Amino acid sequence: MNVEPFSLPLADPVDTARGTVSERRGFLVTVERDGETGVGEATPLPGWTESREACRSALERAAATDARDEALAACEGAPAARHGVSLAFADAAARARERPLYRQLGADGRVERVPVNATVGDADPATTAARVRGVLGDGFRTAKLKVGARSLADDIARLDAVRAAAPDAALRVDANGAWDRGTARRALDAVGDVEYVEQPLAAPSLGEHAALRDRGRIALDESVAAAGVDEVVATDAADVVVLKPMALGGVDRTVDAGRRARAAGVEPVVTTAFDAVYARTAAVHAAAVLAPLPACGLATGDALARDLAADPAPVADGAIAVPQGKGNGVAGPHVE
Ligand X SMILES: O=C(O)CCC(=O)C1=CC=C[C@@H](O)[C@@H]1C(=O)O
Q: CA of 32: how far to CAs of 93, 118, 135, 258, 272, in Å?
A: 10, 36, 40, 29, 26
Helix, strand, coil share of the chain (percent; to 5):
40, 25, 35
Contact map string, positions 23 to 42, toward Mg ion, x by CB under 5 A = --------------------
Residue 297 interacts with, from Mg ion, ligand X, none (CB under 5-8 Å by kind): ligand X
Binding site for ligand X (CB under 6 A): 14, 16, 21, 45, 117, 119, 144, 174, 176, 221, 271-274, 297, 300
Residue 128 interacts with, from Mg ion, ligand X, none (CB under 5-8 Å by kind):
none
**Residue 13, amino acid:** P
Residue 60 is assigned to a ligand binding site: no
Q: Is 198 annotated as a binding residue?
A: yes
Please state the closest distance from residue 266 (CB atom) to ligand X, in A. Answer: 17
Cβ 13 to ligand X shortest distance, Å: 11
The entry of ligand X, Mg ion, none near residue 286 (CB within 5 to 8 angstroms by kind) is none
244 is catalytic: yes
| CA–CA separation, 238 and 225 (whole Å) | 13
What is the nearest approach in angstroms of Mg ion to the Cβ of residue 114?
A: 18
Pairing between β-strand 142-146 and β-strand 170-174 as defined by DSSP bridges: parallel
Residue 297 — φ and ψ, nearest 5°? Answer: -90, 60
The nearer residue to Mg ion, 172 or 253, going by C-beta atoms, is: 172
* DSSP character at residue 323: P
DSSP 218-283: EEESHHHHHH-HHHHHHTT--SEEEE-HHHHTSHHHHHHHHHHHHHTT-EEEEB-SS--HHHHHHH
What is the DSSP track for 32-63? EETTEEEEEEE---BTTB--HHHHHHHHHHHT
> Which of these is catalytic: 244, 253, 280, 326?
244
Residue 326 known to be catalytic: no
- List the catalytic residue out of 103, 146, 158, 285: 146
Residue 93 or 269: the one with the smaller Cβ distance to ligand X is 269
Tell the smallest beta-carbon distance from residue 191 to Mg ion (Å): 15
Residue nearer to Mg ion on the CB measure, 68 or 144: 144
Nearer to Mg ion, 102 or 274 (CB): 274
Give CA–CA dist 45/49, Å, rounded: 5
d(CA 2, CA 22): 27
Interface residues for Mg ion in 150-179 (CB under 5 A)? 174
Nearer to ligand X, 223 or 271 (CB): 271
Contact 154, 189 (CB under 8 A): no
Binding site partner of 318, from Mg ion, ligand X, none, Cβ cut-off 5-8 A by kind = none
The residue among 6 and 96 lying less far from ligand X, judged by its C-beta, is 6
Please pick, from the candidates 221, 239, 307, 311, the single residue that binds Mg ion as defined by CB under 5 A: 221
Q: How far is the CB of 191 from ligand X (least distance, A)?
A: 17
Annotated ligand binding at 174? The verdict is yes
Among residues 292, 279, 294, the alpha carbon closest in space to that of 249 is found at: 279
50 interacts with, out of Mg ion, ligand X, none, CB within 5 to 8 A per kind:
none
Report the 10 Å Cβ neighbour count for 11.
Answer: 10
Whole-number Å distance between alpha carbons of 65 and 307: 29
Task: Tell me how far apart the alpha carbons of residues 38 and 241 are, in angstroms, rounded to a whole number.
Answer: 29
Least distance from C-beta 119 to ligand X, angstroms?
4
Span interacting with Mg ion, options 122-130, 157-165, 190-198, 281-289, rule CB under 5 A: 190-198
**Which backbone phi and psi does 218 adopt, to 5 degrees?**
-110, 130
**Catalytic residue list:** 146, 244
Binding site residues, Mg ion, CB under 5 A: 174, 198, 221
- Which residues are annotated as part of the binding site? 174, 198, 221
- Which residues are annotated as part of the binding site for Mg(2+)? 174, 198, 221
